Structure 1
Amino acid sequence: MSIGSSTLGGTSKAHRAQLARNVQLLLLWVAESDGDVEVPELDFVAEQFPGPDGENADDLLAIIRSGELRPLESAIRFLAEESRELRVAFLDLAITMAMSDHRVAVTENYILRFFADALHLGEDILERRFKIISGVDLCEPGDPADPEWWEENPELGSQTESNGSDGMSLNEARAMLGVERDASMSEIESAYRKLSGMLLAKRVEASGPDAVTTARKRSRKLREAYDLLKG
C-alpha cells in the first residue's frame, strides 16, 4: 500500500491497516466539512485504498458526523509520528480532496491549516504544496467578524442580509461557519461543532497565551454566528 508517492514498505500489516484507516478518516473529514460529500470525493478515497486496506466510508462518516472529536485527534496524532515524506504525501491528498469541487470552503481551509500545524509541517509548506497542486494561492480563511474582511471581499458584502440589529449579519454568520444559504439545521450544528472543537483553548495552549486569547475570541464569534442562524 502507498500514500501518494510514499510507499509503506517495511511496516507491519497491522500498522499499515491502522494508518490506512486514519488517513481515510481524515480525508473524509475534509470531504464532509462543507456539508456535502460528493460521489467523486468518495471515489477518490476508494482509489487510494482499494481492497482489504479500505474501510467502509459510511462507517467512517458516521464517526465524523457523531461530533466526537477524539477519533479525529487520535488519527492525526498517529499520522504525526510518520515520516516527513509520508506526512507531506498525506497533506497532498488532503489538498486534492479539498480542491475536488474547484473551491476551498472556509471549513476546509481551516482543516488544511490544522493538518499542516498538527503534522509539524507548517503553513509555508502547505501554501507551497497547495500552489503546486491547484495552480493558485491558498487564500487566508479570514475572520468574517472583522469589517476589514468584508472590505476585502466586496462581492460577498453586496449580498449581505441584515439580521435587524447592529450585530453580525446572516451572511457573516454563514461565512463564519462555512455553510451555504440553504444549509439545514443539522449542517449548521455540525459545522459549529467542528470549528469550535478545533478552537478549544486546551488544544492551542501549547502555542502560548496569545493563541489561547485568539482561540477564545473566535470561539465567541462562532457561537454568535451559530445562535444567529439557529434563531
Structure 2
Amino acid sequence: MAIHLDLEEQEQLDQLKHFWERWGTLITGVIVLVALGFAGWNLYNYWDRRQAAQSAVLYDEVERAVQAGDASHAERAFQDVREKFGRTVYAQQAGLAAAKLLLDKGNTDGAKAALAWVADKGRDDGLQAVARLRTAAILLDAKAYDEALKQVDASMPAAFAPLAADRKGDILAAQGKSADAVAAYTSAWKGLDSQSEYRRLVEIKLNALGVDPRTSAGAEAKS
C-alpha cells in the first residue's frame, strides 16, 4: 500500500515538474507583471495625491490674492500653479478665480488669457464650459460677436447647454437677430428647471422680444 502511494506521489511530482517546465516561465512573468502593475498603481496614486496637495496650497495663494484684490499677485500665483500642476483641477479653479479679478481690475487681455488656458488645457469639462461662457461674455461686451458665438457653440456637458443657449441668445439679440435670439432663449428656457430664478430671467428676455414661452409651451402641448 505504501509503495502504491509512493508511486502516485512520484507520478504527481513528475506531472507537476512537467507542468512547471512548460508553463513556469509564463506564470512567473505574469506574477511579476501583476506585481509591477500594482506597485505602479500605488505609486501613481501617491503622486496624484501629492500633486493635489501641493496644487491646493498654491490655489489658496491665488484665493488670498483675490480676496486682497491684488491682481498682479493672483496672476503670478495662477501662472505658478499652471506651470507646476497644470493637470490638476486646482489649476483650473485658480485660472477662473484669477480671471475674474483681472477682469474686475480692467485687465481684459489677462482675463481672456487665463480663461483660454482653462478652456483649452483643463481636464474638467465642467470648468472648461464655465471658462467658455465667461469668455463669451467678455467678447460680447467687446462686440466681438463671431468669436463669442464660437465659444458658446463649442462642445459642452449637457448640464451647461441651457446656459450656453442663453448666452447665445444674448449675442444674437445684440446683433439684432431677434428671431434667432428667441429660438436660443426658448431652448434655454425649456432646458432650465421650472423653479429656478435663472429661468425667470430668460423668460423676461423672451417677454422683451414679444414672446411668452408659457403660452407657446401650452400651445405645443395641446397640439
Q: Give TM-score, length-normalised by structure 1.
A: 0.29
Q: Give TM-score, length-normalised by structure 2.
A: 0.29
Bigger share in helix: 2
